[in-house]
């Protein structure tokens, strides 16, 4: 028999017993001096950090990105140079459900990447869809409230969801995606990822480009039907978590092909629609995807809580060669994520092993709860005593011109800034007959939930008729209204 280590307290002191509390006599009352018992009970009461306010249920794995093509003409970012290999963490998730909710619920899937680059962490916090429900961060908390639970019954409520969506026509493209079978993936290994936003790339000479990221699953897209997803939710709510863990444990490492779409900087102003609108894709015919590399997931975390629950992704983590665009959603997200991490995990979350960069940190930030590494003197900048100094040249290129009056509006400045053309293209050009049939039955099923009122149903039909008359008519027929 292998020799077992002695149990200790968290302070490393040998523990007095694995079974018995200290009592007065074998059946007597317990003693406050039993520090080990008190420590066990008190630590247990503090085991949870708050779950993520969205994307609470998820799982992830480590891997490596390899760049196979030369894109140095578009960006100077070290991780995107040909031949470069960079370690990464990828966390998948559902959006609306809580920590214990079923993996196969109809929802977008989070696709959050953290690259541990030589220039610090680069996080790309995307989804398995290239678009989103809204285009202004002002509406994000309202949107999420409509997807989660009611105030009175604490139940989720499809009526509330349709109320929000039908009053927010910009949601049409994303809701179309969601209601296809891509809303119920077979596994995380079988989803694409998208950076979704438009980002700025700039090269060593300062030339600028607008870029979108696509991560295409090499396993192929594979979805459940609504009935299969429901059955799996009942039989194995952790199916996606189990599938990924098992595949990696068995050496079946999933891979994704990395592609980018590149728009020359000057073309954005006159493009036919706002290229920074998160409810739109860039059609492939306009900006063909270019393959630049591949990444592989090859290592499971050893401790779920430490490495996945406490993983902190933030769209603001960008390295020289990559920068934000005027996408208002991205702008809002730059603030939101580090703010929620400071609340959920603590102000020094970046010192946890899963979040700490592999690049050296020379920051002037210091102290705070649970910090264990601090800058040495000098603790201020500027200084004359050899402290770290910023190099603004590294960031030469991360800018664009802005001018205008302060406003609260979204002017339709581009010819095709409408909400329905792209979901219409999806219905007309991309979906197969079977995909369309499932889209209709999925919508009808969702809008037939008992909570959905008779007044809401015509609004649902109208929403889909705006995308395509046939689609709206088929939904009306399924819902048994409007003579359908």
Q: Which is nearer to ligand NDP, 75 or 127 (CB)?
A: 127
In whole angstroms, how far apart are CA 470 and each of 5, 312, 437, 466, 484? Answer: 69, 44, 11, 10, 11
Structure tokens at 186: 């077979």
Asked whether position 337 contacts ligand HEM by CB under 6 A, the answer is: yes
Between residue 182 and residue 211, which ones bind ligand NDP under the rule CB under 6 A?
182, 192
Q: Is 121 among the catalytic positions?
A: no
Query: CB under 8 Å, gap of 24 or more: what pairs does 78-87 form?
Result: 78/117, 78/118, 78/119, 78/319, 78/321, 79/115, 79/117, 79/118, 79/119, 79/122, 79/319, 80/292, 80/321, 86/115, 86/116, 86/117, 87/62, 87/63, 87/115, 87/116, 87/358
Binding mask 267-306 for ligand NDP (x = CB under 6 A): --------------xxxxx---------------------
Partner that binds at residue 58, options ligand HEM, ligand NDP, none, CB closer than 5 to 8 Å by kind: ligand HEM
Within residues 114-143, the interface with ligand HEM by CB under 6 A covers 125-127, 132, 137, 140
- What pairs with residue 323 in β-bridges? 200
Give yes or no for residue 457 binding ligand NDP (CB under 6 A).
no
CA torsion, points 120, 126, 132, 134, in degrees to nearest 10? Answer: -30
Q: Binder to ligand HEM among 21, 101, 257, 336 (CB under 6 A)?
A: 336
Binding part of the chain for ligand HEM, among 25-33, 216-224, 268-276, 337-345 by CB under 6 A, reads 337-345
**Annotated active-site residue in 27, 35, 45, 55:** 55
Instruction: Indicate whether 172 belongs to the interface with ligand NDP (CB under 6 A).
Output: no
Query: By CB under 6 A, is residue 244 in contact with ligand NDP?
Result: no
Does 426 participate in binding ligand NDP (rule CB under 6 A)?
A: yes
Residue of 144, 334, 396, 425 that binds ligand NDP (CB under 6 A):
425
User: Is 422 near ligand NDP (CB under 6 A)?
Assistant: yes
Identify the active-site residue in 127, 128, 223, 274: 127
Which of residues 198 and 317 has its CB atom nearest to ligand NDP in the complex? Answer: 198
Euclidean distance between the first and final Cα of the chain, in Å?
73
Residues touching ligand HEM, count (CB under 6 A): 27
Known catalytic membership, residue 127: yes
Closest by CA position to 200, among listed 67, 78, 332, 318: 318
Residue 271's binding partner among ligand NDP, ligand HEM, none (Cβ under 5 to 8 angstroms by kind) is: none
303-332 residues in contact with ligand HEM (CB under 6 A) are 311-313, 329, 332
456-477 burial string, b = 16+ CB within 10 Å, else e? Answer: bbeebbebbbbbbeebbbbbbe
CB closer to ligand HEM out of 93 and 180: 93
Considering the complex, state which of residue 345 and residue 456 has its C-beta at the smaller distance from ligand HEM.
345
Catalytic residue numbers read 55, 127
Chain contacts with ligand HEM (rule: CB under 6 A): 52-55, 58, 91, 93, 110, 112, 125-127, 132, 137, 140, 196, 278, 311-313, 329, 332-333, 336-337, 340, 344
Chain contacts with ligand NDP (rule: CB under 6 A): 130, 177, 180, 182, 192, 214, 216, 281-285, 422, 425-426, 429-431, 435
């Amino acid at each position: 028999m292998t020799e077992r280590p002695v149990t200790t307290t968290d302070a490393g002191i040998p523990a007095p017993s694995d079974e018995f509390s200290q009592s007065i006599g074998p059946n007597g009352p317990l003693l406050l001096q039993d520090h080990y018992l008190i420590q066990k009970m008190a630590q247990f009461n503090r085991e949870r950090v708050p779950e993520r306010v969205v994307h609470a249920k998820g799982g992830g794995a480590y891997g490596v990105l390899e760049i196979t093509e030369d894109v140095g003409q578009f960006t100077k970012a070290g991780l995107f140079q040909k031949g470069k290999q960079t370690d990464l963490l990828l966390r998948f998730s559902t959006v609306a459900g809580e920590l214990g909710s079923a993996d196969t619920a109809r929802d977008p899937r989070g696709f959050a990447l953290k690259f541990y680059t030589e220039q610090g962490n680069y996080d790309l916090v995307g989804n398995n869809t290239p678009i989103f429900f809204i285009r202004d961060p002002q509406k994000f908390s309202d949107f999420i409230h409509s997807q989660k639970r009611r105030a009175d019954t604490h139940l989720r409520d499809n009526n509330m969801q349709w109320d929000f969506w039908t009053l927010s026509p910009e949601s049409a493209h994303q809701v179309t995606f969601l209601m296809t079978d891509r809303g119920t993936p077979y596994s995380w290994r079988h989803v694409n990822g998208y950076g979704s936003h438009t980002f700025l790339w700039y090269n060593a000479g300062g030339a600028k480009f607008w870029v979108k990221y696509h991560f295409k699953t090499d396993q192929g897209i594979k979805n459940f039907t609504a009935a299969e997803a429901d059955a799996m939710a009942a039989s194995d709510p952790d199916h996606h978590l189990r599938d990924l863990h098992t595949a990696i444990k068995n050496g079946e490492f999933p891979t994704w092909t990395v592609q980018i779409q590149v728009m020359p900087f000057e073309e954005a102003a006159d493009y036919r629609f706002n290229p920074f609108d998160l409810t739109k894709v860039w059609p492939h015919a306009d900006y063909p995807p270019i393959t630049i590399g591949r990444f592989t997931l090859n290592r499971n975390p050893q401790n779920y809580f430490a490495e996945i629950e406490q993983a902190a992704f933030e769209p603001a983590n960008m390295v020289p060669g990559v920068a934000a665009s005027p996408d208002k959603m991205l702008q809002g997200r730059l603030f939101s994520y580090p703010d929620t991490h400071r609340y959920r995990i603590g102000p020094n979350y970046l010192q946890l092993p899963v979040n700490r960069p592999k690049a050296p940190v020379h920051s002037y930030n210091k102290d705070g709860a649970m910090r264990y590494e601090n800058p040495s003197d000098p603790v201020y900048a500027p200084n004359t005593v050899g402290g770290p100094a910023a190099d603004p040249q590294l960031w030469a290129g991360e800018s664009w011109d802005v001018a205008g009056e302060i406003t609260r509006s979204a002017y339709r400045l581009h010819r095709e800034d409408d909400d329905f053309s792209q979901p219409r293209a999806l219905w007309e050009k991309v979906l197969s007959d079977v995909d369309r049939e499932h889209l209709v039955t999925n919508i009808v099923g969702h809008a037939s939930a008992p909570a959905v009122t008779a007044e809401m149903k015509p609004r649902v039909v109208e929403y889909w008729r705006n995308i395509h008359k046939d689609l709206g008519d088929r939904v009306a027929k399924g819902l048994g209204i409007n003579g359908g």
